[in-house]
Chains A and B, each alone.
Chain A
Amino acid sequence: AQKITQTQPGMFVQEKEAVTLDCTYDTSDPSYGLFWYKQPSSGEMIFLIYQGSYDQQNATEGRYSLNFQKARKSANLVISASQLGDSAMYFCAMRDSPSNTGKLIFGQGTTLQVKP
């Protein structure tokens, strides 16, 4: 069964430092997509970055990069130069398509707090 595991319930990082949020996944489908979302206290889920299972290079979007290690089934999010506004809950999610559906499977999330 498909599963996403985020083992860090909470993380602290000093402003301007980099932080890595861990995510491991499990699927038997060779075609899948991995996503990271940010959820501030307002509740809206904000799309950050996407990595496809066949992508050869790690995805990057501004200060966000995804450390994709396919053999280890991990897709860690790296946030560089943390800002106070990065304080939020972060979710790793997977979308696979064994039956052509778009269902996202989410991990339990990691709460990130950026200290000034």
Chain B
Amino acid sequence: KAGVTQTPRYLIKTRGQQVTLSCSPISGHRSVSWYQQTPGQGLQFLFEYFSETQRNKGNFPGRFSGRQFSNSRSEMNVSTLELGDSALYLCASSYTDRSYNEQFFGPGTRLTVL
């Protein structure tokens, strides 16, 4: 069974640009969550989607948005990039959104904003 895939793996952008990251969950998984990892703030929850509906959103500005498609694939978008958006963005999938379901992570997209 294929794992969670994220594209692209590396990305370099300049301030003010926008970026779209993609995540394909494990086949059969309906829940996709996104996390931002930085050395200073650690791992922070961005948002979670389940069956195309955003179930929860972390404490991030409106420049961060996402969506989930009917095949459970998810995208997140960051508009008007700032230097502080440089981070590793991790996507995780699980079968449901219940607390007892493990989340499996993808390899991440490393975003650098210059």
Interface, chain A (partner B; CB < 8 A): 31-33, 35, 37, 42-47, 50, 52-53, 91, 93, 95-97, 99-109
Q: Of B16-24, B42-50, B64-72, which binds chain A?
A: B42-50
Q: Which residues of A contact B94 (CB under 8 A)?
A: 102
Name the 6 nearest CB pairs between A and B, nearest first: A45-B105, A102-B97, A101-B56, A106-B43, A97-B99, A33-B99
A43 near B42: Cβ-Cβ < 8 Å: no
Q: Which residues of B contact A102 (CB under 8 A)?
A: 31, 33, 48, 50, 55-56, 94, 96-99, 101, 103
Assuming the contacts A102-B33, A104-B35, asked whether A91 and B43 have C-beta atoms less than 8 A apart, the reply is yes
Shortest beta-carbon distance from A53 to chain B in Å = 8
A106 near B42: Cβ-Cβ < 8 Å: yes
Sort chain B's interface into a size bin: 20 to 34
In the complex, which residue of chain A has the Cβ closest to the Cβ of B45? A103
In the complex, which residue of chain B has the Cβ closest to the Cβ of A94? B99
Q: Which residues of B contact A32 (CB under 8 A)?
A: 99
B48 near A101: Cβ-Cβ < 8 Å: yes
Shortest beta-carbon distance from B102 to chain A in Å = 5
Q: Which residues of B contact A52 (CB under 8 A)?
A: 99-100
B99 near A96: Cβ-Cβ < 8 Å: yes
Q: Which residues of B contact A95 (CB under 8 A)?
A: 99, 103
B90 CB-CB contact with A under 8 Å? yes
Shortest beta-carbon distance from A75 to chain B in Å = 14
Shortest beta-carbon distance from B99 to chain A in Å = 4
Please tell me which one of the listed residues A43, A47, A108 contacts residue B102 in the complex, with CB atoms under 8 A apart: A47
